[in-house]
Amino acid sequence: MRFTELGIDTRLEQQLAHQGITEPTEIQAHAIPTALAGHDVFAQSKTGSGKTLAFLLPAVQRVMKQKALSKRDPRVLIVAPTRELATQVFSECRALCAGTNIQVCKVLGGENYNDQVKALRRDPHFVVGTPGRIADHVENRSLFLGGLELLIFDEADRMFDLGFEKQLDIINDSADHRQRQTLLFSATLDHTQVEASSRQLLKSPKRIMLSNAH
Ligand code: ADP
Ligand code: MG
C-alpha cells in the first residue's frame, strides 16, 4: 500500500521517500484515513510501530491544504511526555514540513522561557512540547489555544505515568472542544487512567487497538 492511497499528498509521500519510508505501517494505515476524515482517534500500538507519522501526516496534510493561514494560530498542538520524545516529534515534523510555509515551534521544559514566549508571538502553525511547559504558557497567556484545530497527545500512557494529569487537564480545558479534533496515542493497551481520561479528552473517538503480539 502507498501513502497516497490513504489520502496523503504526493508531496509528502516524496518527503518520506527521501527518508526511505515508502509503505505505511499498520497503525498508520488505520489512523491516517480516520484522522483525515475528521474523527477523534484513540489509538494504541506498541513502541516502534510508527505512531509519530500516524499523527504527523494527517496533521501536516490538513494544514498544508488550507490556503489562507489564519491569525488564530497555533492550528496544531502536540504534547509529548519528555524532552527527548518532544524533540524527536519536532524534528520529524520539521522534516515533513520542509518546502511548505508551515512554521513549527518547540516548547520544552528546562529551556529559556522568554525565548519561547517570543517564538510563540510569531504565531507558529504547529507547537510541539512537554506538558508542564505548555501548561505554564497557557496559564500565563503566552499560548492561546482558542483557534486550535487539532490537539494531539503522544505517548499518553507515559504522560499519565509521569503524573501530568493536571497539566493535560489545563491544556484540554483551554482548547475549544466544539471545533477541535483530538488524537490520542498510547503504547499500552487498557491503561486505566488513559481509558478514564479519554472520555474527557475525546468525543466519540474511533478506537484503533492493535495487538502487541506479532
Ligand atoms: P512509536 O512512536 O510507535 O514508538 P515511531 O513513530 O517512533 O514509533 O517510529 C519508529 C521508527 O520507525 C522510526 O525510526 C521511524 O522513522 C520508523 N518508521 C515510521 N514509519 C515507518 C514506515 N512507514 N516505514 C518504515 N519506517 C518507519
Ligand atoms: Mg512514539
Give the residue extent of every domain in the chain.
Answer: 3-209
Ligand 1, atom 20, lies closest to the CA of 50
Q: What is the pLDDT at residue 17? A: 95
Separation of alpha carbons 187 and 129, rounded Å: 19
Q: What is the pLDDT at residue 66? A: 80
- Grid cell for residue 118: 517570543
pLDDT digits (tens, 9 = 90+) for 117-170: 999 999 999 999 999 999 999 999 999 999 999 999 999 999 999 999 999 999
pLDDT digits (tens, 9 = 90+) for 50-70: 999 999 999 999 998 886 666
Q: For ligand 1, what atom is nearest to the CA of residue 187?
A: 3
Total-model pTM: 0.97
Positive or negative: CA dihedral 93, 214, 35, 84: negative
Q: For ligand 1, what atom is nearest to the CA of residue 20?
A: 25
Ligand 2 centre to CA of 180 (Å) is 22
Residues 6+ apart with CB under 8 A from 119: 105, 107
Ligand 1, atom 18, lies closest to the CA of 50
**Which CATH code, of 3.40.1010.20, 3.40.50.920, 3.40.50.300, 3.30.750.210, is assigned to 3-209?**
3.40.50.300
pLDDT digits (tens, 9 = 90+) for 30-53: 999 999 999 999 999 999 999 999
Which ligand has an atom closest to residue 158 CA? 2
Ligand 1 centre to CA of 17 (Å) is 13
